[in-house]
Amino acid sequence: MEGWVSMPKVELHAHLNGSVRDSTLLELARVLGEKGVIVFSDVEHVILKNERSLTEVFRLFDLIHILTTDHKIITRITKEVIEDFASENVVYLELRTTPKKNESIGMSKRSYLEAVLEGIKAVNTVDVAFRPHNADVSNVKRSSLINDTCNGSTRKKIYVRLLLSIDRRETTEAAMETVKLALEMRDLGVVGIDLSGNPIVGEWMTFFPALKFAREQGLYITLHCGEVPNPKEIRAMLDLLPQRIGHACCFEEEEWKRLKSLNIPVEICLTSNIRTNSVRSIEVHHFADLYNSKHPLVICTDDSGVFSTSVSKEYNLAASAFGLGRREIFQLARNAIEYIFADDEVKRELKEIFNSAELDQ
């Protein structure tokens, strides 16, 4: 495992509230328990449980959202999640989250996002570059791509970009509000839109106007696609030509053909797919077919907290399940650079990071 931790990595499919540390969730649950909002003993085992169906996962998210409902907590979990990814040598992170409105505590989608941005700024174990390139690296020494030397101490650096998620429970208007917020926050590192949430909830036509608008405005799009069998929706999603899709577990022959002909990169979340039973077992996971046919793909965690995983564990699983050696895994990790939602300058710098890491191998 240690070998995969030290390898530089790119994480492109991580949900903020799914990546919260168990210890933080338990601490927050204890506080709400003391206030009488929840019964701690009722939720403790829910947080610590490992095996969950897709339906149970979404019930857990409802619980997590109760625990993290507060600007300060959003800031805290954002900081912790970024620090956790950085400690695993993730050098580029696209973090996604659903901006939430909660009038009872004065939270708007905008103030939620501002709390996330505060969390990014609060990170202190690593240097964070989160603004678009022309804004964010002007003060960073270009020669020091992996480590910034500050006062003699070696500092790691992580690029962070944000994707705003539309939850499938939302209305067209709410989805549009998220897209407009993303457009306004582009200078602060928001690069795209994700469609997620319980895949058996909501209709494609509810989200389509907002996703189409986002695409027309030049935001990047990634969609949770084919988590459950729904050929009509999968076809409609591919017709939108998203720049990436997540999961692709329940594709039929026709849909594979179309996906491959469009060459749309797939975010692969092995543990999540197995734990939620979206894929029967690792032996029949579509990773193997996509990898063998050289289809663009990237290994991701989805929800490192909920599924008790990490990027290194996911690469380790891919290596052992599909018989990939160190060189192949390194190449797989490096290939992800091509699918990031950032400019060529960031890609160039990431390539340099991988090149120098390769020399150390």
**Closer residue to ligand 5GP, CB minimum distance, 171 or 356:** 171
Which is the catalytic residue, given 80, 83, 88, 227? 227
**Closer residue to ligand 5GP, CB minimum distance, 267 or 349:** 267
The residue range among 16-24, 80-88, 125-133, 338-346 that interacts with ligand 5GP, by the rule CB under 6 A, is: 16-24
Q: Quick check: 226 binds ligand 5GP (CB under 6 A)?
A: no
Would you call 3 exposed, middle or buried from its count of C-beta atoms within 10 A (0-12, 13-18, 19+)?
Answer: middle
The residue range among 82-90, 192-200, 328-336, 343-351 that interacts with ligand 5GP, by the rule CB under 6 A, is: 192-200
Residue with the two structure tokens 């306004």? 184
List the structure tokens of 292: 């063998």
List the structure tokens of 210: 């907002």
**Closer residue to ligand 5GP, CB minimum distance, 114 or 148:** 114
Assign 266 to helix, strand or coil.
strand
Q: Which of 80, 167, 177, 314 binds ligand 5GP (CB under 6 A)?
A: 167
For residues 68-107, which are near ligand 5GP according to CB under 6 A?
97-98
Assess whether 170 carries a catalytic annotation. no
Q: Which of 75, 196, 304, 309 binds ligand 5GP (CB under 6 A)?
A: 196
Taking residue 231's Cβ as centre, other Cβ atoms within 10 Å add up to: 13
Q: Which of 9, 11, 18, 225 binds ligand 5GP (CB under 6 A)?
A: 18
**Residues contacting ligand 5GP: total by CB under 6 A:** 17
- How many angstroms separate the CA atoms of 136 and 39, rounded? 44
Q: Which of 69, 75, 89, 165 binds ligand 5GP (CB under 6 A)?
A: 165
Q: Which of 78, 89, 272, 304 binds ligand 5GP (CB under 6 A)?
A: 272
- How many angstroms separate the CA atoms of 160 and 94, rounded? 6
- Burial of 30-51, coded b for 16+ CB within 10 Å and e otherwise, reads eebbeeeebeeeebeeebeeee
The residue range among 9-17, 127-135, 174-182, 291-299 that interacts with ligand 5GP, by the rule CB under 6 A, is: 9-17
Q: How far is CA 17 from CA 28, 97, 342, 345, in A?
A: 13, 7, 23, 30
Q: Quick check: 242 binds ligand 5GP (CB under 6 A)?
A: no
List the structure tokens of 211: 């996703």
The closest of 261, 227, 228 to 245, measured between CA atoms, is 227
For residues 104-163, which are near ligand 5GP according to CB under 6 A?
none
- How many angstroms separate the CA atoms of 167 and 184, rounded? 19
Q: Quick check: 285 binds ligand 5GP (CB under 6 A)?
A: no
The residue range among 130-138, 183-191, 193-201, 235-243 that interacts with ligand 5GP, by the rule CB under 6 A, is: 193-201
Which residues, other chains included, contact 309 with Cβ-Cβ below 8 Å and sequence gap of 6+?
271, 272, 301
Catalytic residues: 227
By CB under 6 A, name the binding residues for ligand 5GP: 15-18, 61, 97-98, 165, 167, 196-197, 199, 224, 227, 272, 302-303
